[in-house]
């Protein structure tokens, strides 16, 4: 049997502007987030973040976002390290579009620091843990 290009060629995956091919590698239902950081959504954002007595580090993320998965462990580690002094919260932008829209989230991951109900700082993109740690320490 002769080999043809059709048999040898690998199938190509279709991509879209919303979800590039590298984001489709893991089916959504197989992603399990075991966060040390708390979670918030459109309904709980005010009580969890804005009314907090301590500074709050908010990680805006989505399950299909590769860079979000890179910084997720950093946020969890900071939650443990600053336990009681800083609250770390994750907000899934797919499930909480109102908060994301209200704060102008155009790229993820986006990390914001809130204190006294006010947004103090914004970091866009995957950054090293030390950058996040230094940012949090400024507001203690």
79 or 17: which carries more pLDDT confidence?
79
Instruction: Report the percentage of the chain scoring pLDDT > 90.
Output: 70
Residue 118 counted as domain residue? yes
Q: How far is CA 19 from the centre of its chain?
A: 16
Q: Is 65 a catalytic residue?
A: yes
Residue 106 counted as domain residue? yes
Is pLDDT above 80 for 35?
Answer: no
- Determine which one of 40, 68, 78, 89 is catalytic: 68
Amino acid 20: pLDDT: 52
Domain carrying residue 104: 33-133
Residue 25 counted as domain residue? no
Residue 26 counted as domain residue? no
CATH of the domain at 117: 3.40.30.10
Amino acid 47: pLDDT: 94
- Determine which one of 49, 65, 89, 132 is catalytic: 65
Residue 11 counted as domain residue? no
Half-sphere exposure of 70 (CA within 13 A, CB side): 13
Q: Is 88 a catalytic residue?
A: no
Both tokens of residue 9? Answer: 């060629």
pTM above 0.85? no
């Amino acid at each position: 049997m002769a080999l043809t290009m059709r048999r040898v060629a690998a199938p190509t995956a279709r991509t879209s502007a919303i979800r590039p091919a590298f984001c489709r590698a893991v089916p959504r239902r197989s992603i399990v987030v075991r966060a040390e950081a708390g979670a918030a959504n459109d309904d709980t954002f005010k009580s969890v973040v804005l009314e907090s007595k301590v500074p709050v580090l908010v990680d805006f993320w989505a399950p299909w976002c590769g860079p979000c998965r890179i910084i997720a462990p950093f946020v969890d580690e900071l939650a443990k390290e600053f336990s009681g002094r800083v609250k770390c919260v994750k907000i899934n932008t797919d499930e909480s579009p109102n908060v994301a829209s209200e704060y102008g989230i155009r790229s993820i991951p986006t990390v914001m620091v809130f204190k006294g109900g006010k947004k103090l700082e914004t970091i866009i993109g995957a950054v090293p843990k030390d950058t996040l740690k230094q940012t949090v320490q400024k507001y203690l």
